[in-house]
Structure formats: structure tokens, C-alpha cells
Structure 1
Amino acid sequence: MQTYPKAVGAYSAFRKAGDLIFISGQLGLDPQTNELVKGGVGEQTKQALNNIKAILKENGLEISQVVKTMVLLSDISDFAIMNEVYEKEFQAPFPARSAFAVKDLPKGAKVEIEAIAYKA
């Protein structure tokens, strides 16, 4: 059973480089259907983070080992809702993060999150 969505293009869901793992942008896709979860940016943020956690777990890592994230939002006014969900998944010290509003995201998604984790 696939625990995170498969890449839908010419890219990998993740790549390892030494003690680092680079996780490609994850949408709020249900890994079983490859469709966006129902709901808004909050639900999609939660699912995107669940997809990241599944990739980390497969590689013997945990969310606490994420050192950097980048969040892309289709509407910057969704930042507060995304941040509320995001805050519940991470603990201090929080990863470094950048967040941007973009014109569009694949599949009409409201949020996409990529991550870099460090295996110490």
C-alpha cells in the first residue's frame, strides 16, 4: 500500500544526498486516490504534511528532523490557516521556512510543501 503520492512527472518524490533527504513539493493528495483531499487549505496542509511524514518514516526519519521547508500557497490570505495546522505538526526548534504566494499549483491545490531533513 502506497503511503504517499507517487510523483506525477519527471521527478522523484524524494532524493537522498549523504545525511540529507530532499522531499519534493507535496500537495494535499490522498495517496490511495492521487486526488486532493476534501476541504480547504487546512485539510490540504495536514495531508501534505502527512505525505512528508510518510516519506520520512520510509527513510527512518521523523518530522523533528526536518530542518527547512518551503510552503507555496495559491492565495496568501490562506497563510494563517496553513500556519495554524503547520504549527501543530512541528515543535521548537521549528524548521527554517519560506512561504510564497504563487499564481497556480498543480491539480488546483491550495498548498504545496517541500522539505529538507537531516539524519544525524
Structure 2
Amino acid sequence: MQALKQIHTQPDPYAPFLLSQAIQLGNLVFVSGQAAIGDDGEIVGKGDFDRQAEQAFKNLDRVLRAAGTSLGGVVKVTIFLTSMANFPKIVELRRKWFSAPYPADTIVEVSGLYSPDAMIEIEAIAVGPGDAR
């Protein structure tokens, strides 16, 4: 059986929640939901979806790099939104942060995330080092 490798970022705002930023198993990287958490552990852009989305994608990029891969290695994302009113912005975000072939994607509206101020959270599965697109 292959060993699980825990992926950390510095700082790691998720450590107080007793979860891993990501886990690598073989050549796959499973990334925990990335929200608009700043280095101080606080939500960036309270009430501002665009700022939160930007920070969430930056956090996704950072944890993927810590795992030795990149956004180009993402094969599947799940994006959680607290309002589908922001759905049209997701297409532009995909264009900005990903490139063809675009990852498989599921978007879900939820009644709430880990904080009442959080508006978006992104989880991902990526291929690891050496296997990115």
C-alpha cells in the first residue's frame, strides 16, 4: 500500500481545523476545499464575491505548488457557491485560472460554508509531479 503524504503550505491556515491542505497518494493530489482565507486565517473580501473567488483560486494554486504540481494538473474541481447568482462569473474564472483541456467541474449551491462570511470554496483532484498536462 502506498503511503499518504500530507501537503502543507506556509502559513497553513487550515491547521487549527485538524485537516490537511491536500493529501498526495501516488500521482494523485486531493485538495481540501480552498476558501478565501488569507495568511492571517481570516476571510478576505467579506461580502465581495470577486475578491473571495480570487483568493480561493490563489489558495488552490498555492497548495498545488506545495504538492509539486500546478493548476495545469487539475483534472476535477468542485466549486461550492452560497449563491448561484455568482455562477456566470465562474466561466471567466475558469478562463483566467485554467487552460484547455479544462478540468471536469461540478458547481453546487450550498446554504452555507464553514464561515457565514465565506461565499466560495473550491476542492480539486490533480495529477502530481511529472504528470501535469
Between the two proteins, what is the percent identity of the paired residues?
34
Pairs aligned (count):
119
Higher Rg: 2
> Where do 4+ consecutive residues of structure 1 move more than 4 Å?
none
Give 1:34's aligned residue.
41
The unaligned stretches of length 5 or more in structure 2 are 1-8
Equivalent residues of 1:4, 1:55 under 8 A apart: no
Q: TM-score, normalised by structure 2?
A: 0.81
Q: Deviations over 1:72-97 (max 9, x none)?
A: 00011111123322321101100000
What SS does structure 1 have at the residue aligned with 2:58? helix
TM-score by length of 1: 0.90
Q: Give the alignment of 1:103-114 within 5 angstroms.
A: 103-108=111-116, 109-114=118-123
| Alpha-carbon contact 2:24-2:67 (below 8 Å) kept | no
Structure 1's unaligned 5+ residue stretches are: none
1:89 and 1:96 mapped to 2: Cα distance? 14
* TM superposition shift of 1:6: 2.3
Equivalent residue number for residue 84 of structure 1: 92
- Give the secondary-structure state (helix, strand or coil) at the position aligned to 1:107: coil
RMSD: 1.7
Q: After superposition, what is the alpha-carbon deviation per residue over 1:24-65, rounded to whole angstroms, capped at 9, x for unaligned?
A: 0010111x2111112511211111111111111112111100
CA 64–22 in structure 1, closer or farther in 2 if over 3 Å, else same? same
Deviation of the 1:4 alpha carbon = 5.3
Q: Displacement, 1:3?
A: 5.0
1:50 aligned onto 2:58: yes
SS in 2 for 1:53: helix
The corresponding residue for 2:127 is 118
The separation in 2 between residues aligned to 1:4 and 1:83, in whole angstroms, is 29
Q: Residues 111, 20 of structure 1: CA spacing in aligned structure 2 closer, same or farther, 3 A cutoff?
A: same
Residue identity matched to 2:121: E
Matched, 1:102 2:110: yes
Q: Does the aligned pair in 2 maintain the 1:72–1:99 contact within 8 Å?
A: yes
